[in-house]
Structures are given as C-alpha cells and as structure tokens.
A and B are shown apart, each in its own frame.
Chain A
Amino acid sequence: MAISADRPVAQEKVLTLQRQKQQDSLAGWLFVGPALLFFSVFTVFPILFGVFLSLFKINVTTFENRTWVGLDNFPKVLGNEDFQVSIWNTARFSFFVVIIQTSLSLLLAVAVNQKIRGRTFFRAAFFFPSISSSVVISIIFLWFFNKFGLLNYALSLIGINGPSWTDDPSAALPAIMSLNIWTTAGTFMVIYLAALQDIPGQLYEAASIDGANGVQKFFRITVPLLTATTYFVVTLGIIGTFQVFDQAFIISGGTGGPQKSTLTIVFYIYQQAFRERNGMGLAAAAAVILFVIIFSLTLLQRRFFKTEQNY
C-alpha cells in the first residue's frame, strides 16, 4: 500500500486490473449461469437421480411413494428372463452391426478416396439415410421387407422364397441389423474419409517404390494409420447399437416380438418403466447395468486398440 501510494500510476493499474478481474468473473457467470441452471436440472440431476432411483421400488402413477429396496433391484433384473433375452439380442445386434458397418464404411471411404468421378455425389448420397427419421426409415423398410415386398421379389428372381421378414422370429433381428447398417455406414464413412485425407500420399508412393501392391498397402499402411479412427468408430458404434430402440419398436409394432426376438435392452427398460405398474426402479437398475456394459466395453476395446497401436 505504501509503495503504491508513492506510485499512483502503478496503483491505478493494479486497481484497473482488479476491477477487470471482478468484472470478468461477474460477466463469466452471467453468460454461463442460465445455461448452467438448465443443464443441471435436465442433465446433471437426471444422471445422478437415475442411479438413485435404481435403489427403489417405484409405482409409475404415484412415484412419490417409493419404497427403498437397496440393491435388490439388481439381482432381480439380472435374473429376469426378459432382461436376459434383451441382453442376448442386443449383444448379437451390436456384434454384427459394429463389425459389418465398420468394415463397410472403411471400404466405402477407401473407394471414395480413389481418384474417381462423382466423389461428392457418393459422399452426400451415403450420408443421407443417417439424417432421416429412424421411425420413417423403419416404416419404409417394413414396406420393403414385406412378405410381398421388393426384397422378396428380388430374391424370388434368383429362386429364393424369402420369409415374411418381420414376422419371423429368426429373421426380424437380422432385418433390423441390416436396416441399421444401411443407415449408419455412410456417417462412419465420412469420418473415415476425413482421416484418410490426412494420410500423406508419400507413404503410398514410397511403398509402391518398394514394390507393395494395393492389398499390401491397404493392410500395412491404411489400416494401421487409421487405428485411432477405427477406435473412435467402434466406440460410437457400441454406444449407438447398445441403445437401439426406435427401429426395434417400429418394426415389431411396439411389442418386441415376434417371440421377443427384437426385445432390446432399451426396449426392456421402456416396457418396465412405462408399461409395468411397479417397474420403474427395476428399469432404472437395468439402465445402470446398461451403462456399466457400455462403459466396460469401451474400456476393453480401448485396451485392445492401445496394444494394437504398438505394432
């Protein structure tokens, strides 16, 4: 204080800086405050509340009177036959969809990345289904997968008598899988394409000089250099496929059938929470379990890709 009294200019500066700092904190919280309030109520609180709810037995109409059941919901839901079926269906769904959509989108990206005509057209065309309503796409596919639909007509031309896809317990889930791959392959292709364009062309030229052929270049240069992207694409794939709901709901007409063959985990959660009288706590527990499954799978494959990266 004494020093600054000797130097009024410096003191003035310190004061302005302090005032500036105070103004900044005020302005900062003013800008962020309203958003933060809504975000807390509609995102942060629901996440915490979701875990909390899994510890209760809740009546859907009067969820104010809930009974504390502790961890009882967890063994109960894990032992539930429908839940087990839904896990099995979702796991199969995720496994096939992630593997096929990842490889297909990589192939498509590599193909688009060749010096070919109509690149922008293909990129735009493949991306289109992923921006359309999942409900509408499912309805269109119902028409397409119909017993007398276009698909079965095409199959009949090569002598195959196609099933009534969505009414056949062994065909309904594969039908939803193909619909899902059809929708999302283009999105992931765009992500792969962006990454492909970052690979320096000299690498391929050097490989050509060393006499590598196209296939070798693909597996020795392209695939390894895209490891980070593949990790990302697979992670998004797992998160997305484990939460599949809309397509299963529309294709099965809201039943999860035929014979529970399209009952997915989120479908089970929906049914328990909104169609059973006392299932909300159970559904919340199932949601927590689903979160744990997705989280562990992402960690697991992160490990896998980490070791892969040190080729």
Chain B
Amino acid sequence: MAVSAKMPAIESSVVNESPLWSRRLVKFGAYALLIGFALVQFIPFVWALSASFKPEIEIQNSLSFPPKLIPQNPTLQNYFDIFTIVPFGTWYLNSFLVAFFTTLLTLFFASTSGYAFARIPFPGRGVVFWAIIGTMAIPAVITLIPTYIVLKSLGLTDTLQGLIIPFMVTAFGIFLMRQFFTSVPVELEEAARVDGAGRIRIFSQVVLPLARPALSALTIFTFMGRWNDFLMPLIIIGKSELFTLPLGMSTFRGQYKTDWNLLMSGSILVMIPIVILYLFFQRFFIEGIATTGLKG
C-alpha cells in the first residue's frame, strides 16, 4: 500500500505516455457502458411496474403503438383483483412457509454439522466431509426423478413438507458454515472448556453468536432459492391450494395470457420480499457471491 501510494506521483510526472485524452476516453467508455447496461436492466422492471398500475383498457390500447410509460388513470385495482381471481394469498403464504422453514432447518443442520466438521475431531470426518462436497459437482437434474420417487414413496408429493425436507441439508450450507467455523480462534473455545462448558454449550453460546455474518449469508441464499424455485413445485405439487408463487404465476400465465396488468401486478408482488431482503442485506448477497463463488 505504501508503495502504491507513492507511485502515482512518479507516474504522473514520468509517464505521460498514456495521455489525458485517452484516459478520459476510457472513463467515458466505462460510463457509457455502465449507464447503458443499467438502463437495459431497469427498463423491463419499470415497464412491468407501469403496466401493473394500468387499467385493463389502457393495456388493450397499448397493444398498438406508441406505448405509454405513465398510466393515464393509474389504479391499484390489479393488486386487489389478483387476490380474488386466483388464490394469490394462499400461494403467498405457501411460498413463505416453504422458504421460512427450509431456511430455519438449513441454518440448524448446516451450523451443527459445519461446526463438527471444523472443530470436533472424530473418526471419518475428512472422508465424510469431502464426500458431501463432492456431490456439489453433480448437476441437480440427475436427482430430479429420483427425488420425485423418494417423495412419492414417503407420501410427500402434494405436500409443502415435500418442498422443504429435500432442501434442508445442503452441501453448500455445510461448506459455508464449516469454512466460517474454521476461522474462529480455538482459544475462545478452550477458555470456555476450562470453565467446564460442554460441546453443546460451547457451540450454542460461544461459537454460534460469532457466526452471524455466515448465518446471514446462508439465510439469504436459502430463502431466495426456495422462494424462487419453480421446478420442484412443478413436479410434485398438483393441487392449486398448495401452489407456491412461481408455480401459481406459471399457471396463471397459462390461463390469463393477455391480462398483462394482472400478470405484472402479480410479478411485482412476488418480487417485493426479495427486494426488501436485498435492500437490507445487500452486502451479504454480494460478498457471499464474491467469496463463496470464488472458493467453490
């Protein structure tokens, strides 16, 4: 750091090989690219938001050019209608229950086993851990049909439990927590042990409270993954009252092809919890991707 802090002075006096105009050009290009891409990213969302406030007549009219971004007679009707036309409230609750309980159970299983893999020497630890990590290399699609058969034979198809139980222990979660616990100083535990604390107490009262960042990252990824999951509900859920939001939206799109105002208000409602989660925990999202991504 000290070196690089001194370098620019030399650079600007000696190195005027890359002239000012070229550096300005690079910066201009960077801004143009970033702003351009940001617009491309935002426009579909803004366009969806706009449609969600338009009365049906305006949607029909906008099916001819030119389309209007700002609704002429903005209405909240679409946001009410979607709850009466389809059981949107039930789907919302189902999605929430599935995501919430999967996350809770994942936190429990990943932290207990992650802790043991990091800290408790027991026979077979290495082999078992690497076997678990090894499964991460296998594409999920391999397990699609077998999981369906397992759930069916356990009588868990067409139940919300069937969407929770298969996902409550994941290699990713165990890996994430194990990596974290490895970085906690052993001295902390030894001090507690001298005071006569057992494993369970050390884990729950000393180590776990320190693991908040890792637990937050795991919470976000698990909740988001379950909230957005489509394939598993599609294959195991048949009853409309057990649909999760993505599955419900998919069938809704099949039946109400041209009711864009309703489709868009539904879409916005599905995104809201994730947007809130994102606004609060943005740091964990991005750090989680950057670090676990690179290490995985």
Set of chain A residues within 8 Å of B293, measured between Cβ atoms: 187, 190-191, 194, 232, 236
Return the chain B residue nearest A204 by Cβ: B11
A245 touching B231 by the CB < 8 A rule?
yes
Q: CA of A36 to CA of B110 in the docked complex: distance in angstroms?
A: 10
Complex contact B113–A42 (CB within 8 A) = no
A269–B150 CB distance below 8 A = no
Among candidates A27, A182, A239, residue contacting B139 with C-beta atoms closer than 8 Å: A239
Indicate whether A135 sits within 8 Å of B246 (C-beta atoms), given known contacts A127-B285, A270-B235.
Answer: yes
Given contacts A135-B230, A140-B48, A229-B294, contact A42 B145 (CB under 8 A): no
Distance (whole angstroms) from the CB of B110 to the closest CB of chain A: 8
Tell yes or no: A68 within 8 A of B by CB. no
Q: In chain B between 123 and 137, which residues have their CB closer than 8 angstroms to a CB of chain A?
A: 123, 125, 128, 131-132, 135
Interface residue stretch chosen among A44-52, A77-85, A91-99, A169-177? A44-52
Bound CA–CA A24/B167 (angstroms):
28
- Taking a contact as CB atoms under 8 Å apart, the answer to whether A32 and B3 are in contact is no
Is the CB–CB distance between B66 and A141 below 8 Å? Answer: no
What residues of B have a CB within 8 angstroms of the CB of A104 in the complex?
Answer: 37
Is B146 within 8 A of A53, CB to CB?
yes
Q: A48-88, CB under 8 A of B: which get 1 and which 0?
A: 01110100000000010000000000000000000000000
Residue from A24, A146, A186, A273 in contact with B144 in the complex, judged by beta carbons closer than 8 Å: A273
Closest to A290 in B: B141
Question: For A24, what are the chain B residues with a Cβ–Cβ distance below 8 Å?
Answer: 120-122
Question: Closest Cβ of chain A: how far from B70's Cβ, in Å?
Answer: 14
Flag the segment in B80-88, B183-191, B211-219, B267-275 that touches A.
B267-275
The residues in B between 265 and 296 inclusive whose CB is less than 8 angstroms from any CB of A are 266-267, 270-271, 274, 278, 282, 285-286, 289-291, 293-294
Taken together as a complex, chains A and B put the C-alpha atoms of A209 and B11 apart, in Å, by 7
User: Is chain A's interface secondary structure helix, strand, loop, or mixed overall?
Assistant: helix
Q: Are B64's CB and A148's CB within 8 A?
A: yes
Residues of A within 8 A of B4 (CB): 200-202, 205
Which residues of B are found within 8 Å of A42, using beta-carbon distances? 147, 150, 165-167, 169
Residues of A within 8 A of B160 (CB): none
B34 with A112: CB separation less than 8 A: yes
Q: With the chains together, A32 CA to B286 CA distance in Å?
A: 29
Q: Report, as a range, how many residues of chain A touch the other chain.
A: 35 or more
> Knowing A135-B249, A209-B15 touch, does A32 contact B117 (C-beta < 8 A)?
yes
CB distance from A255 to the nearest CB of B (A): 10
Chain A residues in 8 Å Cβ range of B26 = 114, 214
Considering the complex, give the chain B residue whose CB is closest to the CB of A179: B44
Contacts of A49 in B (CB 8 A): 146, 149-150
- Interface presence of B115 (CB below 8 A): yes
Are B294 and A127 closer than 8 Å at their CB atoms?
no
Q: Which residues of A contact B249 (CB under 8 A)?
A: 133, 135-136, 139
Tell me if B228 is interfacial: C-beta within 8 Å of chain A: yes
B residues within 8 A CB of A254?
250, 254
Q: In angstroms, how far is the closest chain A Cβ from the Cβ of B36?
A: 10
Q: Is A283 an interface residue (CB 8 A)?
A: yes
The yes or no answer to B41 lying at the interface (CB within 8 A) is yes
A294's closest neighbor in chain B, by CB?
B139
Neighbouring B residues of A125 by C-beta, 8 Å: 38, 41-42
In addition to A39-B169, A290-B139, 7 A-B residue pairs with Cβ atoms within 8 Å of each other are A21-B121, A132-B274, A137-B44, A140-B267, A144-B44, A148-B63, A283-B145
What is B's interface to A at a CB cutoff of 8 Å? 3-4, 7-8, 11, 14-15, 17-18, 22-23, 26-27, 29-31, 33-34, 37-38, 40-45, 47-48, 51, 62-67, 109-110, 112-113, 115-117, 120-123, 125, 128, 131-132, 135, 138-150, 152, 165-171, 174, 199, 203, 224, 227-228, 230-231, 234-235, 245-247, 249-250, 253-254, 257, 260, 263-264, 266-267, 270-271, 274, 278, 282, 285-286, 289-291, 293-294
The 5 lowest CB-CB distance pairs between A and B, nearest first, are A28-B122, A31-B116, A46-B146, A194-B290, A46-B143
